[in-house]
């Protein structure tokens, strides 16, 4: 697996990471623990070094699974986790909470669940409008000085917030959604990251599965699948968005690749400091995703993809309104 540096921080990771959320959270029933451990360890064997989790995934169970899986190879990998939500009774996510004392509590609990003495990359999961970002950055900076955290990250933060945080404690990476069907970061975020020397870790690089070409208007999601609540995954939107999949499939055939591999290779081609974190629960999908790191898209390929995108429109909002309000702050 090729390596990439996340901006100018000096943190080097595999060109493709593994998003672990779906193993226990959001996309239906959690996998059996041993199945998840086997998948994570296979990723390590294939050269993946960046593993992404969060206390809210489960909650808690995702970090626990990752801790069990990576404990034998801890010094070979980079573990990223997140703080920023209060977790209420019954394990339900409640309000945002990035107060300094809460950040410290989350860090200590995450260290225990992850079976480690340091968090390599500690993200604020969502910007908390009630807590100045300078206080958040300063608190993580203190944790870095104590050796409990190595690098500071933000998720779904806007350009102004990035600048303010970076002035207090250098930000190593921003994690936000970015893919062939969500290109909003190109407007302001990517130029800001390049200017500041911050790496970019796109989540949902396969459009929550849609860009694999395996989802259509007739697909039934399980009752507890997060996508049931997303406007972009209504049956009408999925039907309308098939035009994008058809365009990608035509390009993929010319490269002897899958649509998922083209989508991931396209992200890798945008900037050398972009590291996608596709997630999966299936070993064959893991192999497929990782193989995308070996695909080189030429300038002509990228132009063909752009022309295809220019001819199609993506339908449906990515989040319900209340969730979208928590992004790009």
Contact predicate 275/201, CB 8 Å: yes
Residues 6+ apart with CB under 8 A from 323: none
Amino acid 90: pLDDT: 66
- Looking only at the bridges linking them, the beta strands covering 12-14 and 3-5 are antiparallel
Contact predicate 82/55, CB 8 Å: yes
Query: pLDDT tens digits for 64-101?
Result: 999 999 999 999 999 999 999 999 876 667 799 999 99
Alpha carbon distances (Å) from 130 to 133, 136, 231, 248, 280: 9, 11, 28, 42, 34
**pTM attached to this predicted model:** 0.97
* Residue at 258 is within a domain: yes
* Residue at 214 is within a domain: yes
Contacts 24+ apart (CB under 8 A), 40-47: 40/65, 40/66, 40/69, 40/70, 41/69, 41/73, 42/283, 42/286, 43/18, 43/286, 43/290, 44/70, 44/73, 44/76, 44/77, 46/1, 46/286, 46/287, 46/290, 47/1, 47/14, 47/290
CATH of the domain at 155: 3.20.20.100
Picking from 86, 109, 81, 106, the residue whose alpha carbon sits closest to that of residue 96 is 86
Domain span at 123: 3-324
pLDDT tens per residue across all 329 residues of the chain: 999 999 999 999 999 999 999 999 999 889 999 999 999 999 999 999 999 999 999 999 999 999 999 999 999 999 999 999 999 876 667 799 999 999 999 999 999 999 999 999 999 999 999 999 999 999 999 999 999 999 999 999 999 999 999 999 999 999 999 999 999 999 999 999 999 999 999 999 999 999 999 999 999 999 989 999 999 999 999 999 999 999 999 999 999 999 999 999 999 999 999 999 999 999 999 999 999 999 999 999 999 999 999 999 999 999 999 999 999 99
Residue with tokens 């989350």: 106
Q: How far apart are CA 73 and CA 115, in angstroms?
A: 11
Contacts 24+ apart (CB under 8 A), 214-218: 216/242, 217/242
Residues 6+ apart with CB under 8 A from 112: none
- Other CB atoms within a 10 A radius of the CB of residue 184 amount to 13
Catalytic residues: 57
Residue with tokens 């968090």: 119
Q: How far apart are CA 329 and CA 324, in angstroms?
A: 10
Amino acid 151: pLDDT: 98
Question: Residue length, the chain?
Answer: 329
Domain count for the chain, please give it. Answer: 1
**Helices first, then strands: H and E counts in the chain:** 12, 11
Q: Tokens standing for 304?
A: 């063909």
What DSSP character marks residue 27?
B
Contacts 24+ apart (CB under 8 A), 249-254: 249/213, 250/308, 251/301, 251/304, 251/305, 251/308
Amino acid 91: pLDDT: 67
* Residue at 195 is within a domain: yes
Amino acid 94: pLDDT: 72
* Residue at 329 is within a domain: no
């Amino acid at each position: 697996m090729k390596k990439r540096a996340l901006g100018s921080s000096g943190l080097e990771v595999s060109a493709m990471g593994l998003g672990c959320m779906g193993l226990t959270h959001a996309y239906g029933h959690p996998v059996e623990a041993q199945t998840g451990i086997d998948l994570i360890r296979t990723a390590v064997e294939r050269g993946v070094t960046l593993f992404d989790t969060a206390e809210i995934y489960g909650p808690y169970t995702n970090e626990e699974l990752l801790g069990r899986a990576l404990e034998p190879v801890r010094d070979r990998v980079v573990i990223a986790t997140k703080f920023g939500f209060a977790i209420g009774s019954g394990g339900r996510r409640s309000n945002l909470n990035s107060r300094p004392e809460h950040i410290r509590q989350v860090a200590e609990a995450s260290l225990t669940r992850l079976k480690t003495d340091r968090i390599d990359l500690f993200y604020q999961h969502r910007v908390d409008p009630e807590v100045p970002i300078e206080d958040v950055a300063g608190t993580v900076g203190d944790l870095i000085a104590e050796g409990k955290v190595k690098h500071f990250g933000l998720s779904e933060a806007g350009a102004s917030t990035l600048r303010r945080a970076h002035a207090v404690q250098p930000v190593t990476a921003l994690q936000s959604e970015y893919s062939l069907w969500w290109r909003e970061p190109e407007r302001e975020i990517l130029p800001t990251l390049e200017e500041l020397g911050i790496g970019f870790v796109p989540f949902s690089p396969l459009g929550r599965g849609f860009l694999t070409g395996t989802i259509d208007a007739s697909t039934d999601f399980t009752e507890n699948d997060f996508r049931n609540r997303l406007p972009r995954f209504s049956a009408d939107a999925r039907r309308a968005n098939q035009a994008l999949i058809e365009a990608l499939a035509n390009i993929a055939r010319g490269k002897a690749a899958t649509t998922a591999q083209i989508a991931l290779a396209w992200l890798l081609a945008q900037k050398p400091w972009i590291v996608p974190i596709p997630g999966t629960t299936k070993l064959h999908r893991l192999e497929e995703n990782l193989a995308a790191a070996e695909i080189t898209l030429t300038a002509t390929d990228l132009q063909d993809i752009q022309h295809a995108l220019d001819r199609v429109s993506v339908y449906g909002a990515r989040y319900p309104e209340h969730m979208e309000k928590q992004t790009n702050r």
